[in-house]
Amino acid sequence: MYRFLLTPRWWGINLFVVLAIPFCVFMGSWQLGRFEARVDSHQEAEREPSPDERKAVPLDELLPVDTKTSGRHATATGVYGEQFIVPGRELDGKRGDYVLTLLKTDGGRTLPVVRGWVAEGGRVPAAPAGEVSVTGALQASENAGTDGVHTAGGLPSGQVGMISAASLVNLVPDDVYNAWITLVEADHGLAAVPAASVEGSGLDLKAFQNLGYTGEWFVFAAFVLFMWFRLMRREVEAIRDRELGLEPDPV
Q: Render pLDDT for 209-222 as a digit per residue (tens, 0 to 9).
A: 888 899 999 999 99
Q: Is residue 164 part of a domain?
A: yes
Give me the chain's average pLDDT, please. 85
Q: Is residue 171 part of a domain?
A: yes
Count of the separate structural domains present in the chain: 2
Query: Do residues 171 and 209 both lie within one domain?
Result: no
Alpha-carbon distance 82 to 19, whole Å? 58
Q: Going by DSSP bridges, is the β-strand pair 57-58/73-91 parallel, antiparallel, or unpaired?
A: parallel
**pLDDT tens, 114-161?**
999 999 888 888 999 999 999 999 999 988 878 778 776 678 888 999
Query: Do residues 209 and 179 both lie within one domain?
Result: no
Query: Do residues 93 and 127 both lie within one domain?
Result: yes
Q: Is residue 196 part of a domain?
A: no
* Alpha helix segments (H runs only) across the chain: 8-47, 165-168, 205-243
* pLDDT value of position 52: 61
Cα angle at 122 between 153 and 182, to 5 degrees? 70
Q: Which domain covers residue 19, as residue numbers?
A: 2-43+204-243
Query: Do residues 28 and 82 both lie within one domain?
Result: no
